[in-house]
Amino acid sequence: MTALLVALALASPSELQVSFRKVVTSDGVALAVYRYARPGVSSPLPPVLLVPDVGFTRAAYDFEGAGLARWLAARGQVVFVAELRGQGKAGPGLALEPMARVDLPAVLEALRLTRVDLVVQGWVGALLLAVHGRDARVRRVVALNTPVLAAPPSALAEAFLADGGRFSTLASSPQGARVFHELFALWAELRPGRERAFLATGTRDLSRPVAAELLAWMRAGDLPLAQGSLVAGLARASRPTLLLLGLADGFSPPEQCGALREHMAGAVEVHVFSRAEGGEDFSHLSMLLGRFAPSRVFPKVAAFLEAPER
């Protein structure tokens, strides 16, 4: 009954319906999963599962009634957005690896997804790709600025993480907003006020252990995992992957992502966006919520997911 009421409350004026459910992992962490679908419309494609980067929430894919989740659902696909531990409304996240090792399988099992396409972003994207890049349930992956060459992207990013990765602090001062702009929204073409609004409501502080672990991963160049390491996991990833890179991403910058096509076992199609070809350079934020995202980015995602099997 509660789920029904939530679904009705979240439904948009169009046919698109949005519903929410909680998924509890084997270690007791509550995850938040949102479902976007148009009733009566079926797609031959498998559902798409969207996962935001560290510090971001569902808002990365659905903010103020717009975003990739609704855009894909409007095309007839069933879309899920998952907030893993430490993200959005999910329970606390104190380590990175459980997001991939525990949370994603829990979501797939709870939703009974035996075939799914993944859209992942940034550092979490690299982690999911490393752990699930050859998961039989995963058909294709769209990786948005997903790094393989880990290093502190800049002095500013390093300082932000060393300070605990607290977005709430950034939101509380003009200087903080400036840091957010440089790292996540550089030269972004966003509607007025959207950047500040997203910082205020679309982000969540990293826990100190996760901020420290992410920084250690960057500094060491790799993330140790229970079975090997992240880079080793990426080397085994075999699912067809589309790597979309925004030139202005200051948090998981393209120079740290481009080598993914050499590291992965599977085929990786790369596209770098820049203002030279129109649109914008795309930052971490604007690749998903920017003014040009629906015309430049989303069609590439759809074209890749909808392309015939090779």
Binding residues vs another protein (CB under 8 A): 149, 153-157, 182-183, 186-187, 245, 247-248, 250, 253-259, 269-278, 281
User: Which CB sits closer to another protein, 94 or 272?
Assistant: 272
User: Which CB sits closer to another protein, 74 or 272?
Assistant: 272
Identify the CA nearest to 152 among candidates 88, 242, 214: 214
Give me the residues paired with residue 217 across strands: none
> Can you tell me whether residue 276 is helix, strand or coil?
helix
Cα distance between residue 154 and residue 148, in whole Å: 16
Identify the CA nearest to 287 among candidates 241, 257, 247: 247
User: Which CB sits closer to another protein, 121 or 256?
Assistant: 256
**Bridge pairing between strands 30-37 and 241-246:** unpaired
User: Which CB sits closer to another protein, 109 or 189?
Assistant: 189
* Contact by Cβ (8 Å): 273, 295: no
Identify the CA nearest to 56 among candidates 185, 230, 223, 243: 185
- Give the pair of three-digit tokens for residue 99: 């997001």
As a three-state string, the secondary structure of 151-182 is: CCCCHHHHHHHHCCCCHHHHCCCHHHHHHHHH
Instruction: Give min distance, CB of 22 to another protein, in A.
Output: 37
Which uninterrupted H or E stretch holds 277? none
User: Which CB sits closer to another protein, 83 or 281?
Assistant: 281
- Cα dihedral sign, 80-100-241-83: positive
User: Which CB sits closer to another protein, 17 or 274?
Assistant: 274
Instruction: Give min distance, CB of 17 to another protein, in A.
Output: 35
> Can you tell me whether residue 13 is helix, strand or coil?
coil
- Give the pair of three-digit tokens for residue 310: 């090779």
Instruction: Give min distance, CB of 72 to another protein, in A.
Output: 21
User: Which CB sits closer to another protein, 104 or 297?
Assistant: 297
